[in-house]
Amino acid sequence: MNKYKSIADSEIIYTELMVPHYANFGGKVHGGRVLLIMDNVAFTVATKHAESYCVTASVEGVDFLAPVEVGTLLIIKSRVNYTGNTSMIIGMRVETQNPITGEILHTNSSYFTMVAIDSETKKPKKTPGVLLTSDEELRRFCEGIHIKSSAIAKRKLLKSDLADHSREKLDSMILNENCIIKF
């Protein structure tokens, strides 16, 4: 029998002060630090939903819209958007808040695909489905279907070496790109 859980059961809002130790050479919070925090948040949401250890399988669409400033509060709103058989897509909205002025800035959004792992076999295990209770949850679940299919297509493309493409096809692919051929 399938088990279904409410999205609210594992949804979290995480907040952390961005300290000088996190700064890069440009004086902004290092993007890798933000990704580390996001990965930890995705793990927490996925583990709460699956009720088991989870691992990161992929990260889709990390586009930094604005830098994260030292001294701001990093706020990550995170929830399960989609569940497959053994995987979950965790949606995240990342914002910063100036603790003095209260100004909030959307810095990025992202989707982490997490896989539930069986504690005995160390293999992927079935995860509970989600109980959709609103139009927004239905929309996000359907977005998850598209994210999953585009991720599969991307992995297929990355495994391709384009060896089956003719020279003419390769030339046409780079027609408007910033390169020149010198061979």
Q: Encode burial over 5-41: b for 16+ CB neighbours within 10 A, e otherwise.
A: bebeebeeebeeebeeebbeeeebbbeebbbebbbeb
Give percent of the chain with pLDDT exceeding 70.
Answer: 99
pLDDT above 60 for 65: yes
Question: Could you report the per-residue pLDDT of 78-119, keeping only the tens digit for each?
Answer: 999 999 999 999 999 999 999 999 999 999 999 999 999 999
Is the predicted pLDDT of residue 43 greater than 70, yes or no? yes
What the block records as the tokens of 148 is: 């999953």
**Tokens 């897509």 sit on residue:** 89
Complete domains list, the chain, with CATH: 4-173 (3.10.129.10)
Q: What is the pTM of this model?
A: 0.88
